[in-house]
């Protein structure tokens, strides 16, 4: 007994530097009467073996076998599949309606795709239908198509249809007679529109001399007037229709003229209706102009004379024009002129 203690102390010197995580799982036993430690009894290995055998024999713990087929022993033999899914039974076929073929499992294939019914195009607009009928030589049919339009539209289209038909086939580059006929038809169609067209002032300017429509000598804007000098304002007017009067025609228009100074204040003018004395002055001058002619006038002009203000300065003049019925009105932009000192 005393001889074993130095070996234990020497063993302790080697154990001290080791990490502190060493775990000793054995249980120390007191020494026996002879001084030796009792040996640990060995565990019985038979119960462990029996448990392993029972675990291996349990079907729940066994993994399923993934066998799809068993190889045949004779070449050419078809191997049946194991765990095959049962074949799906064919669905019952609904009874056929009267007049339809009976569909069985053999002829249950989809039939040909049914074609849609032919699409009927929408009817042509009245204008397109009328042009087609007129081009095909059926003018009476064209008139029937145009009855859906308003009366003024019917008249205009009927006046243009012959023009389109002739213009599509005529030799416009080498046939002057055809061009003359087309020009007459165009003028006739324009005359139908003029009584309803808006009035339009083509030109408005001061002139030195006027001899007629389009025959005038303009006055330079840098050339000022002298006090009380007579100014001539020239205006060209479009779409003013002539109306029958007696054995000829009359073309009439109403004008309203106003003159303003640099401060936009109205400048009184001599009233042209006060002819005996020409002493009355008004803020806005109103007068009517009527032209008589043997034929309708297509070119219409107005020449307005007035006395420029006495005070030097910059002025503007504006003219408003109306047809005899007063339904169509137009107005010029302010036209500037200057009056120099005496």
| CATH number (domain holding residue 253) | 2.60.40.10
Domain count, the chain: 2
Single residue among 177, 196, 215 that ends a domain in this structure? 196
Mean pLDDT of 218-242: 93
What is the predicted pLDDT for the residue at 298? 84
Mean pLDDT of 246-260: 94
What is the predicted pLDDT for the residue at 195? 86
Q: Do 283 and 316 belong to one domain? A: yes
Rounded distance between C-alpha atoms, residue 100 and residue 118, angstroms: 23
Q: Do 243 and 278 belong to one domain? A: yes
Single residue among 196, 221, 236 that ends a domain in this structure? 196
Those residues with Cβ within 8 angstroms of residue 78's Cβ, 6 or more apart along the chain or in another chain: 72
Average pLDDT, the chain: 78
Q: Do 155 and 230 belong to one domain? A: no
Q: Do 171 and 153 belong to one domain? A: yes
Does residue 108 fall inside a structural domain? no
Does residue 204 fall inside a structural domain? yes
Q: Do 297 and 213 belong to one domain? A: yes
What is the predicted pLDDT for the residue at 38? 47
Q: Do 254 and 310 belong to one domain? A: yes
Q: Do 173 and 286 belong to one domain? A: no
Q: Do 284 and 318 belong to one domain? A: yes
Backbone φ and ψ of 92, nearest 5°: -65, 140
Mean pLDDT of 82-86: 49
Q: Residues of the chain with pLDDT > 90: what percent?
A: 36
Q: Is the pLDDT of residue 111 over 50?
A: yes
Does residue 80 fall inside a structural domain? no
What is the predicted pLDDT for the residue at 61? 52
- Of the given ranges (29-33, 252-256, 331-335), which has the lowest mean pLDDT? 29-33
Q: Do 231 and 331 belong to one domain? A: yes
What is the predicted pLDDT for the residue at 224? 94
Does residue 33 fall inside a structural domain? no
Does residue 95 fall inside a structural domain? no
Does residue 268 fall inside a structural domain? yes
Mean pLDDT of 70-74: 60
Per-position b or e across 242-261, b if 16+ CB within 10 A of its CB? beeeeeebbbbbbbebbbee
Domain limits at 168?
Answer: 126-196
- CA 205, chain centre distance (Å): 43
What is the predicted pLDDT for the residue at 259? 97
Single residue among 196, 213, 236 that ends a domain in this structure? 196
pLDDT digits (tens, 9 = 90+) for 14-69: 444 444 444 444 444 454 544 444 444 454 555 556 655 665 555 555 555 555 55
Q: Do 170 and 226 belong to one domain? A: no
Does residue 215 fall inside a structural domain? yes
Q: Residue 57 belongs to what H/E stretch?
A: helix 45-57
Extended strands (E) in 134-242: 200-212, 215-218, 230-238
Q: Do 221 and 269 belong to one domain? A: yes
Does residue 231 fall inside a structural domain? yes
Q: Do 164 and 278 belong to one domain? A: no
Mean pLDDT of 80-98: 55
Q: Is the pLDDT of residue 333 over 90?
A: yes
**With a threshold of 0.75, does the pTM exceed it?**
no
């Amino acid at each position: 007994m005393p001889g074993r203690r130095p070996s234990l102390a020497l063993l302790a010197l080697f154990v001290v530097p080791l990490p502190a995580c060493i775990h000793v799982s054995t249980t120390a036993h007191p020494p026996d009467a002879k001084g030796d430690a009792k040996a640990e009894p060995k565990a019985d290995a038979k119960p462990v073996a029996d448990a392993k055998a029972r675990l291996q024999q349990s079907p729940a713990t066994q993994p399923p076998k993934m066998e799809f087929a068993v190889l045949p022993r004779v070449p050419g033999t078809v191997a049946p599949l194991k765990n095959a899914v049962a074949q799906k039974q064919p669905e019952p076929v609904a009874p056929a309606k009267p007049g339809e073929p009976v569909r069985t499992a053999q002829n249950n294939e989809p039939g040909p795709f049914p074609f849609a019914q032919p699409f009927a195009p929408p009817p042509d607009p009245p204008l397109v239908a009328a042009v087609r009928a007129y081009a095909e030589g059926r003018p009476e049919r064209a008139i029937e198509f145009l009855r859906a339009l308003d009366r003024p539209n019917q008249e205009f289209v009927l006046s243009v249809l012959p023009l389109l038909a002739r213009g599509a086939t005529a030799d416009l580059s080498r046939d002057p007679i055809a061009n003359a006929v087309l020009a007459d038809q165009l003028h006739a169609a324009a005359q139908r529109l003029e009584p309803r067209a808006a009035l339009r002032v083509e030109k408005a300017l001061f002139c030195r001399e006027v001899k007629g429509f389009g025959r005038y000598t303009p006055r330079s804007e840098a050339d000022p007037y002298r006090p009380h000098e007579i100014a001539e304002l020239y205006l060209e007017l479009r779409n003013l229709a002539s109306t029958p009067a007696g054995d000829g025609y009359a073309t009439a228009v109403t004008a309203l003229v106003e003159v303003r100074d640099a401060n936009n204040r109205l400048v009184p003018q001599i009233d042209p209706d006060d002819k005996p004395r020409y002493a009355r002055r008004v803020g806005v001058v109103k007068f009517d102009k009527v032209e008589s002619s043997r034929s309708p006038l297509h070119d219409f002009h107005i020449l307005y004379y007035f006395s420029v203000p006495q005070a030097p300065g910059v002025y503007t003049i504006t003219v408003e024009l109306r047809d005899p019925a007063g339904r169509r009105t137009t107005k010029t932009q302010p036209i500037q002129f200057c009056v120099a000192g005496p």
